[in-house]
Amino acid sequence: MSDNHRTQRLAHAHKRTVREDLSSQKRVMITGAGRGLGLEFVRQYLTRGDLVFATVRDPGRLTGLADLQQTFGPQLIVVRLDVTKPQSIDAAVARVAASASRLDILINNAGINAMSRDIDDAISAARLGHLDIGVMPHMYQVNALGPLMVTQSALAMLKRGIDPRVINISSWKGSTTDKRRGDDYGYSASKAALNMITRALSLDLNRDAIAVVAIDPGWVSTDMGGPNAPLTPTDSVQHIIHLIDQLTNDHTGQFLRWNGQQLSW
């Protein structure tokens, strides 16, 4: 099914499901929302009737979000955000705070791997013997430090949230237990760093009843995952949203698969 047909279908569903009591809407902030998993998170949360803040580096370039905004109107707010720049992070959170008094769900989805557009030479971030120390720090900034700094900036809004949750989109490649071959150094290490950040955040934020988990979305057919991946963004995100709905403070600090199974660190 094409994105246009899916959007039309979801728009019809949206008219049936938007809640009359707007105070019951979830306030959801999603980073890296321009394509792939991020765009699908936006689409599915909008369809449920939630208020969505979709953050991207360049809002003017993204037709998928523009199509959704045309369909869902003020229920979708597109916000400029570069997760590697502190001023951009604070400005984005301020923009969210100007439209909502609280934040219920923060999905730190923005991420890159060796095949991403941000990386000019894939093997320089992945293969031993070709690694470039000038390339890999950017991967850490996006994949690990970005989620940490966005969460820190949004903390006051999360504390006012209803059953607030921070979701860090990680990868099984960040599991030291499941790592069974070399290669992919930058991505694997940056996701392992994100996993440690998730654990640390879960301990710090437990006193505020903010649940923090890392979730592996599986091998998904996106720009990063490639065309051979067995999971579609629609299926992966549908399962993850269901999982998020089931989370309690008892789950905080866990590393979970998209289907709810627990992963080893």
DSSP 167-201: EEE--GGG-TTT--S---HHHHHHHHHHHHHHHHH
Return the beta strands (E) in the chain as ranges. 27-30, 51-56, 76-80, 105-108, 165-169, 211-216, 255-257
State the pTM of this model: 0.89
When mean pLDDT is compared over 14-23, 110-119, 192-201, the highest value belongs to 192-201
Token digits of residue 208: 């505020």
The mean per-residue pLDDT over the stretch 133-159 comes to: 95
Q: Read off the pLDDT of residues 5-48 as tens digits, 9 standing for 90 and up.
A: 665 565 555 554 444 445 578 999 999 999 999 999 999 999 99
The rounded distance, in Å, linking the Cα atoms of 16 and 20 is 10
Token digits of residue 252: 């905080």
Task: Report the pLDDT value the prediction gives residue 20, as an integer from 0 to 100.
Answer: 40
The rounded distance, in Å, linking the Cα atoms of 75 and 154 is 20
| First-to-last C-alpha distance (Å) of the chain | 36
Task: Report the pLDDT value the prediction gives residue 223, as an integer from 0 to 100.
Answer: 66
Token digits of residue 148: 């940490």
The rounded distance, in Å, linking the Cα atoms of 211 and 201 is 9
The mean per-residue pLDDT over the stretch 167-185 comes to: 92
Q: Read off the pLDDT of residues 41-100 as tens digits, 9 standing for 90 and up.
A: 999 999 999 999 999 999 888 789 999 999 999 999 999 999 999 999 999 999 999 999
The rounded distance, in Å, linking the Cα atoms of 111 and 117 is 11
Return the beta strands (E) in 87-210 as ranges. 105-108, 165-169
Using the predicted structure, report yes or no on whether residue 256 has a pLDDT greater than 50.
Answer: yes
